[in-house]
């Protein structure tokens, strides 16, 4: 069965570029550290030599990959440039675009996006970032470690408001420690350009405090948004919801032969977009047999150290099951042998569980958190309980052992004085001892 996939999202290369820039940042004590231009050349070489085999696999499965801006026509016809196609099934995977906010003076101000920033031959001495998308946070830390004076301005009262408050506080502290000026709850009001650079004006919504910031360059750090105006979705009856394409759990639009994934659905997480693409391709090639399970997907923030989440937050779990039915269990990296060997003991593992032991979510902070978070993604997929996690045969010198330590706390709580299991076991063994006399 033939099909079309339009415009593969380049986000993977972009996120990997800034993650590697964060790791390769020169040491302040090493004046002969790697130059930015040399790092760009190395990153381009690595990207060229690590081209994924996804395209060849799709072509082998009968999927035609078409790059370009499509325009949908009635009768499931697609106009891409000078080509007019009539596919049997269509998957829309268009990348999002960084759209500047509506600020007075921004239209006359040259600004950067994450794409154009990665192409600069030399880094600016100072940079203002408007917005706090996950990629913007990674960029802020990476450039600060490269010696750029970074100022992050966001109207939100906290970074990543959908995450746990402790995770937001940790990210804010890590950015501040890297040298980033973080200004929360500040609403930009105007932008001007002069001989001294770019000036951003803003004010606090709560206190009415007015501020101004100066820098050499300005970066739009909001989440990329899909550009759907030129798709002509009305011609095929595809609906929109919150300025994104509306799909069912099989990623199928209202048109039975059109599927969508990635940025056109309004998301900006790469790992989620990759999962959506795999689900949409499978359902389009065969039938709607594989639903999306967002509660089983790992979400990562490639800062230093990393952050990884799987499943629900505490607030989400309490909203679904009730506040008295949800518990949390924490374990810190301080006593982990691998973390001690790496010289990085900043981090923790937090498990969110139902009182009966069902794993509902996990929040990981630490070195290589995206790697040991895969264990919890598999655990969610196979409905592991905390008892199963506590019995994992992990090595004590690995970071994954932190998961077992956190899960073991649930078993310990069940054997506290006053719990029926402890009372029953105590009575049982007392009877066994007395029966031998």
Return the CATH number at 319.
Answer: 3.30.390.30
DSSP state of 53: S
Strand bridging mode 217-220 / 126-130: parallel
Token duo for residue 154: 């966001």
CB 314 within 8 A of CB 337: no
Residue 76 in domain = yes
Distance from C-alpha of 39 to C-alpha of 333, rounded to nearest angstrom: 31
- Shared domain check, 172 and 34: no
Structural domain total, the chain: 3
Residue 434 in domain = no
- Shared domain check, 257 and 194: no
Q: CA neighbours within 13 Å on the CB side: how many for 10?
A: 9
What residues contact 206, with CB distance under 8 A and at least 6 apart? Answer: 185
Distance from C-alpha of 161 to C-alpha of 164, rounded to nearest angstrom: 8
CA angle 410/160/359 to nearest 5° reads 20
Model pTM?
A: 0.84
CB 308 within 8 A of CB 300: yes
Distance from C-alpha of 415 to C-alpha of 421, rounded to nearest angstrom: 6
**Which of 198, 220, 242 delimits the end of a domain?**
220
Domain of 284, CATH number, reads 3.50.50.60
- Shared domain check, 275 and 127: no
Distances (CA, A) of 67 to 63, 83, 420: 13, 11, 63
**Coil vs helix vs strand at 228:** coil
Residue 437 in domain = no
What residues contact 176, with CB distance under 8 A and at least 6 apart? Answer: 182
Residue 230 in domain = yes
Token duo for residue 63: 């999927």
Residue 433 in domain = no
Distance from C-alpha of 401 to C-alpha of 14, rounded to nearest angstrom: 32
Residue 158 in domain = yes
Mean pLDDT by 10 residues, the chain (437 residues): 36 76 74 72 74 63 77 84 85 85 89 91 94 92 93 92 88 93 93 91 79 94 84 86 89 92 80 84 88 87 90 91 91 83 84 90 89 87 88 80 86 60 63 67
- The residue whose two tokens read 């550290």 is 33
Alpha-carbon 343 to chain mean position? 25
Distance from C-alpha of 8 to C-alpha of 59, rounded to nearest angstrom: 14
Distance from C-alpha of 341 to C-alpha of 330, rounded to nearest angstrom: 21
Question: Can you give the pLDDT at residue 6?
Answer: 35
Write out the E strands in 137-205. Answer: 149-154, 181-184, 186-194, 197-204
- Shared domain check, 345 and 197: no
- Shared domain check, 230 and 93: yes
- Shared domain check, 280 and 340: no
Token duo for residue 382: 């196979």
- Shared domain check, 208 and 126: yes
Distance from C-alpha of 246 to C-alpha of 62, rounded to nearest angstrom: 26
CB 34 within 8 A of CB 43: no
- Shared domain check, 409 and 319: yes
- Picking from 176, 144, 113, the residue whose alpha carbon sits closest to that of residue 22 is 144
Strand bridging mode 126-130 / 149-154: parallel
What is the total residue count of the chain?
Answer: 437
- Angle at which helix 401-414 crosses helix 369-381, to 10 degrees, equals 50
Strand ranges across the sheet with 64-66: 64-66, 4-6, 90-92, 258-260
- Picking from 231, 175, 226, 221, the residue whose alpha carbon sits closest to that of residue 200 is 221
- Shared domain check, 248 and 206: no
Domain interval for residue 363: 305-414
């Amino acid at each position: 069965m033939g099909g079309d996939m339009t415009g593969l999202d380049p986000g993977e290369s972009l996120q990997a570029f800034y993650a590697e820039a964060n790791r390769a940042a020169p040491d302040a004590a090493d004046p002969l550290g790697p130059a930015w231009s040399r790092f760009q050349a190395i990153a381009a070489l690595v990207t060229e030599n690590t081209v994924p085999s996804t395209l060849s696999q799709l072509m082998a499965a009968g999927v035609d990959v078409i790059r370009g801006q499509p325009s949908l026509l009635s009768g499931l016809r697609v106009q891409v440039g000078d080509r007019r196609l009539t596919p049997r099934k269509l998957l829309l995977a268009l990348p999002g675009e960084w759209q500047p906010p509506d600020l007075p003076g921004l239209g006359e101000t040259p600004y950067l996006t994450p794409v154009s920033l990665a192409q600069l031959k030399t880094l600016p001495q100072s940079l203002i970032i408007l917005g706090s998308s996950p990629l913007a946070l990674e960029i802020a830390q990476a450039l600060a470690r490269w010696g750029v004076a970074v100022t992050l301005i966001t109207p939100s009262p906290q970074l990543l408001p959908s995450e746990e408050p402790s995770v937001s506080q940790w990210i804010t502290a890590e950015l501040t420690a890297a040298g980033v000026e973080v200004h929360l709850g500040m609403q930009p009001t105007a932008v001007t350009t002069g001989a001294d650079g770019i000036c951003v004006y803003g004010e606090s919504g709560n206190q009415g405090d007015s501020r101004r910031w100066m820098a050499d360059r300005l970066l739009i750090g909001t989440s990329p948004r899909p550009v759907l105006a030129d798709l002509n979705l009305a011609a095929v009856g595809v609906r929109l919801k919150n300025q994104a394409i509306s799909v069912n759990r099989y990623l199928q639009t209202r048109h039975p032969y059109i599927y969508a994934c990635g940025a056109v659905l309004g998301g900006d997480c790469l790992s989620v977009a990759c999962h959506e693409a795999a689900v949409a391709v499978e359902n389009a090639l065969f039938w709607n047999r594989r639903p999306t399970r967002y509660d089983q997907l790992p979400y990562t923030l490639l800062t230093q150290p990393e952050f990884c989440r799987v499943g629900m937050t505490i607030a989400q779990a309490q909203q679904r099951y009730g506040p008295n039915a949800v518990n949390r269990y924490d374990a810190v990296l301080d006593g982990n042998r691998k973390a001690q060997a790496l010289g990085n003991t900043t981090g923790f593992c937090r498990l969110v569980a139902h009182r009966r032991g069902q794993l509902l979510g996990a929040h990981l902070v630490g070195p290589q958190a995206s790697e040991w978070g895969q264990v919890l993604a598999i655990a969610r997929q196979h409905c592991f309980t905390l008892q199963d996690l506590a019995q994992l045969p992990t090595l004590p010198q690995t970071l994954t052992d932190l998961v077992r330590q956190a899960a073991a706390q649930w078993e310990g709580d069940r054997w506290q004085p006053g719990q029926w299991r402890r009372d029953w076991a105590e009575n049982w063994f007392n009877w066994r001892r007395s029966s031998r006399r």
